[in-house]
């Protein structure tokens, strides 16, 4: 069985992280995406159990009471997100390494709980303007929600130095190669 290592990727919403994570998982078969629980509604095409476990808020609160989360948080107003302990254990049990795509606070909480076996990677967007246009192009959030995401992104960018590795997602090919490199190095 693989050692209980954890890889965390954090990046502001709209930084292109989801594409990067998909490419990383496709090229590194030892990794498995850790599906978070959340209380926001699915976007078109998102699937329960694949993108997130989508729960109504009362069910999410029950899971909190049952101590089911390694970390959880209200990431956006009224919207909880959390990492299920059962998800990490399932992946380790399958002999793989969980890849968590979570925010700064979640990343720091997991790192504090598993300090020696967790790699934290921060993905920087090339600029806030690029971030804004990616969020606007995606078209899945209202103008207010986009502003909330940008405010959070600015806050998160100031936390990049708390991470072990920082990768700039300017050129997708270059960023994928860099990410693969640091992850493979950590898993050696």
Which positions lie near ligand 5GP, rule CB under 6 A? 13, 36, 40, 71, 73, 75, 81-83, 101-103, 105-106
The answer to whether 33 and 25 are in contact (CB under 8 A) is: yes
CB of 54 to ligand 5GP, least distance (A): 11
CB of 23 to ligand 5GP, least distance (A): 17
CB of 22 to ligand 5GP, least distance (A): 13
Nearer to ligand 5GP, 123 or 183 (CB): 123
Beta bridge partners of 52: 36, 48
Q: Tell me how far apart the alpha carbons of residues 53 and 39 are, in angstroms, rounded to a whole number.
A: 8
Nearer to ligand 5GP, 32 or 103 (CB): 103
User: Cβ of 96: how many Cβ atoms within 10 Å?
Assistant: 17
- 111 contacts: CB under 8 Å, gap ≥ 6: 8, 118, 120
Nearer to ligand 5GP, 115 or 188 (CB): 115
Nearer to ligand 5GP, 5 or 111 (CB): 111
Nearer to ligand 5GP, 24 or 75 (CB): 75
CB of 37 to ligand 5GP, least distance (A): 7
Q: Tell me how far apart the alpha carbons of residues 85 and 95 are, in angstroms, rounded to a whole number.
A: 16
CB of 69 to ligand 5GP, least distance (A): 8
CA dihedral of residues 16, 21, 27, 32 (deg, nearest 10): -170
CB of 129 to ligand 5GP, least distance (A): 19
DSSP state of 94: T
Beta bridge partners of 8: 100, 120
Beta bridge partners of 168: 124
Q: Can you tell me which residue has the tokens 């076996």?
A: 117
Nearer to ligand 5GP, 37 or 183 (CB): 37
- By beta carbon distance, the residue nearest ligand 5GP is 106
């Amino acid at each position: 069985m693989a050692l209980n290592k954890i890889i965390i990727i954090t990046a502001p919403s709209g930084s292109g992280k989801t594409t990067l994570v998909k490419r990383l998982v496709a090229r590194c078969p030892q990794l498995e995406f850790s599906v978070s629980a959340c209380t926001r509604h699915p976007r078109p095409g998102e699937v329960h159990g694949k993108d997130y476990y989508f729960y109504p808020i009362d069910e999410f609160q029950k899971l909190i009471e049952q101590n089911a989360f390694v970390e959880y948080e209200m990431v956006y107003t009224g919207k909880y997100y959390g990492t299920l302990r059962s998800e990490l254990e399932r992946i380790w049990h399958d002999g793989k390494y969980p890849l968590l795509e979570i925010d700064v606070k979640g990343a720091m909480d997991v790192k504090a709980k598993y300090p020696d076996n967790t790699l934290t990677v921060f993905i920087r967007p090339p600029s806030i303007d690029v971030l804004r246009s990616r969020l606007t192009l995606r078209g899945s959030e209202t103008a207010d929600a986009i502003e909330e995401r940008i405010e959070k992104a600015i806050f998160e960018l100031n936390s990049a130095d708390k991470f072990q590795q920082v990768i700039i997602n300017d050129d997708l090919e270059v960023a994928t190669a860099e990410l693969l490199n640091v992850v493979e190095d950590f898993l050696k």
